[in-house]
Structure 1
Amino acid sequence: MQATMLTFKDIPHSIWLIRKTWITRGARLYYSQYGEDAVLREIISPSFNNGVYVDVGAYHPIKFSNTYALYRRGWRGINIDMDPVKIEAFKLARSDDTNVCAAISNEKATRQAYSFSAYGLTSTIDPGEVARRTETPISVRNVETTTLNEVLENSCYSAREIDLLSIDAEGHDYHVLRSIDLKKYRPKIVIVESTLMSMNDIMNSAIYRYLVERDYRLIGWTHLSLIFRIERSEIFRFQL
């Protein structure tokens, strides 16, 4: 067997190959549950670092967060969850944000809030979502719902357009979406949860029709999250 001799001229190529093989092959990390923030990283201009987000059903300041990567880039905004302990965590880890304990719906009313674990992903005020679940809630309490419009009007962002609206309301997402004046706050990107598993069903859904009728375009789908955007804005890396 003939030995292969490494010559001096081969050394730059060998270093380049080692770098491409091991050093640059690392996975691209994300904080969101299904990689939503990895999609945002691709569509938002890297120079746009002072955006505003509204995160409904925010859950945790870091884990499964659609906004934490943006927070690290300099974005700030409003995090909303109806579970007080989750808002305590946001106040601890993201005190530069506005953190609001509230149940969001399209009208102000008294509803029952169902929790299925002490710090879980699936707290809901939607009766249909509760009916679909097989486990018994660990707690049921009455909450007063409010609208996104009211939360925004009582915040420091009342006169500002929103760059990202993220909604994860466990079956109540359409009602949350209807509670914000899209013409006034004009979120550039909307991420909204949907449990539909086919594109045909999604395109026939109330959420899809509601946003498309208001000039949004579906540009991404990551398992349970639909990602919509408006056509043109300085926020985007590429214009449609």
Structure 2
Amino acid sequence: MTTPFITYADNFEDVVLWRALGDVERGFYLDVGAGEPRLRSVTHAFYQRGWRGINLEPASTLQRRLRMERPADVNLAVAAAAGAGEQTLYEVSGTTSSTFDARVAEAMSGAGHEVLLRRVPLDTLDAICAQHAEPVIHFARIDAGQGGAAVLEGFDLARWRPWVVLLVGSADDERLRAAGYRRALSDGHTTYYAAPGRDDLLAALSLPPTPSDRFVLCEEHRCNFPLDPWRQRVATAEASVEEARTWAMAHVREWKEKYGRLTEAQERARRAEAELATVTQYAPRAAHADVLERELAAVYASLSWRVTRPLREGRVFAARARGWLRRRAGQARTLGVRVAKALVRRAMHIVLAQPRLASFARRQIVRFPRLTALARGIMLRGRLDAAAMPEQPITADVSQLPDSAQRVLRDLQRARR
């Protein structure tokens, strides 16, 4: 990989292992006494790069964390030993500390810690690997605090032969040397062993971490610069920025409201100035109107106005009389036309009743086309009037008809009348 290697292990064990096994793609590991799943873990960097393995951790708190952060691994709440069985584990309440040593647990209890006793199962690495391991184990890490010598007694190195074995603490390596493993490096905390025939790994494991390994520390590494004070400063600064932002937003709203009120006040002032200008413009006209009203009142009160009053009233009466006469003349003309039409129709009925007289009248009228058309119209109107049936009262009971039908019947009666 071209990106820098991020180390999570306390003593950079993962850097040394990656130098030797970095060419292996998706390898397999065995971690006895795995501890934390991320910080201080030797296998976390490999898990991020696609490796998988078996994590043995009997402490309940650490086992829960392993199952949450390493779902692709095999996480077993089992302690490795020379044989199957059970053993008492002492866990410090509220922490991740645990031990199988009763004296250490007694010292912790004497220091004021609450120590919990829990029976955990024991099993051999042979049985665990037979059930869960892949054919090739690329490295195995064994914590001496979990009983390193006893763990190796239950581990058939000739059968499983991990490429690299890491013994943490002061564990006896007699069984490793007997199986042909050679010590490559010891940093005072962890001892590295290479499998027989793996001289290439022996050379790669023989040096401690160097700048050529191109590794960087994880953020929470114990050797990294302490970031907690800076995180606290950043959190304080962010809180101050948020407080300032809230204050600014509140004042922006207040300023917007004040600006709105100022704009409204300016608009009212502008309208008032316009009204004042209008009043000032029409003030002379208003004064002139007052003068005219006073002059008109003086005219109404003058002697000449009172003397000419009968003449003015006579003119009004004459105008009304002319209008009345015009209306009466129109009514008289309409009445005369109706009487004339009635007389003509009566005369035509009398003439038509005498055949000889009717024949003579026809011969005379045909000489005048317009008079002929008028006579035909009068005759047609007379025939229609004669054919019209007199209105007969309806004697049938129509109360049973629907309201709509009764309304139609009343409309027809009004039309006939």
3-state secondary structure, aligned to 2:25: coil
Structure 1 position 98 matched with structure 2 position 74:
yes
Structure with the higher helix share, 1 or 2: 2
**In structure 2, what residue type is equivalent to 1:58?**
A
Give me the identity figure in percent. 26
In the TM superposition, residue 106 of structure 1 has moved relative to its aligned partner by 0.8
Structure 1 position 139 matched with structure 2 position 112:
no
Q: TM-score, normalised by structure 1?
A: 0.72
Alpha-carbon distance change, 34 to 132 in structure 1, aligned in 2, over 3 angstroms:
farther
Distance (whole Å) between structure 2 residues aligned to residue 237 and residue 211 of structure 1? 14
Residue equivalent to 2:166: 191
Structure 1 position 178 matched with structure 2 position 153:
yes
Distance (whole Å) between structure 2 residues aligned to residue 74 and residue 65 of structure 1? 16
Structure 1 position 230 matched with structure 2 position 195:
yes
Distance (whole Å) between structure 2 residues aligned to residue 180 and residue 70 of structure 1? 23
5+ unaligned residues in a row in structure 1: which ranges? 1-26, 196-205
Alpha-carbon distance change, 222 to 132 in structure 1, aligned in 2, over 3 angstroms:
farther
Q: Please point out which of 145, 148, 160 is paired with 2:125.
A: 148
Distance (whole Å) between structure 1 residues aligned to residue 49 and residue 199 of structure 2? 16
**In structure 2, what residue type is equivalent to 1:103?**
A
Query: What is the total number of aligned residue pairs between the two structures?
Result: 198
Residue equivalent to 1:11: none
User: Map of 1:30-179 to 2, 5 A cutoff?
Assistant: 30-44=7-21, 46-120=22-96, 122-127=97-102, 130-131=103-104, 134-136=107-109, 138-155=115-132, 157=133, 160-170=135-145, 172-179=147-154
Residue equivalent to 2:181: 216
Q: What is the Cα-based RMSD across aligned positions, in Å?
A: 2.7
3-state secondary structure, aligned to 1:218: strand
Given that 1:124 and 1:169 are in contact with CA atoms closer than 8 Å, whether structure 2 keeps it comes out as no
Residue equivalent to 2:378: none
5+ unaligned residues in a row in structure 2: which ranges? 207-417
Larger Rg: 2
Distance (whole Å) between structure 2 residues aligned to residue 171 and residue 89 of structure 1? 19
**In structure 2, what residue type is equivalent to 1:172?**
G
Given that 1:76 and 1:96 are in contact with CA atoms closer than 8 Å, whether structure 2 keeps it comes out as yes
Given that 2:33 and 2:146 are in contact with CA atoms closer than 8 Å, whether structure 1 keeps it comes out as no
Given that 2:90 and 2:105 are in contact with CA atoms closer than 8 Å, whether structure 1 keeps it comes out as no
Distance (whole Å) between structure 2 residues aligned to residue 187 and residue 213 of structure 1? 14
In the TM superposition, residue 79 of structure 1 has moved relative to its aligned partner by 0.8
Given that 1:148 and 1:180 are in contact with CA atoms closer than 8 Å, whether structure 2 keeps it comes out as yes
Distance (whole Å) between structure 2 residues aligned to residue 169 and residue 135 of structure 1? 20
In the TM superposition, residue 95 of structure 1 has moved relative to its aligned partner by 1.0
Q: TM-score, normalised by structure 2?
A: 0.43
Given that 1:33 and 1:65 are in contact with CA atoms closer than 8 Å, whether structure 2 keeps it comes out as yes
Given that 1:53 and 1:77 are in contact with CA atoms closer than 8 Å, whether structure 2 keeps it comes out as yes
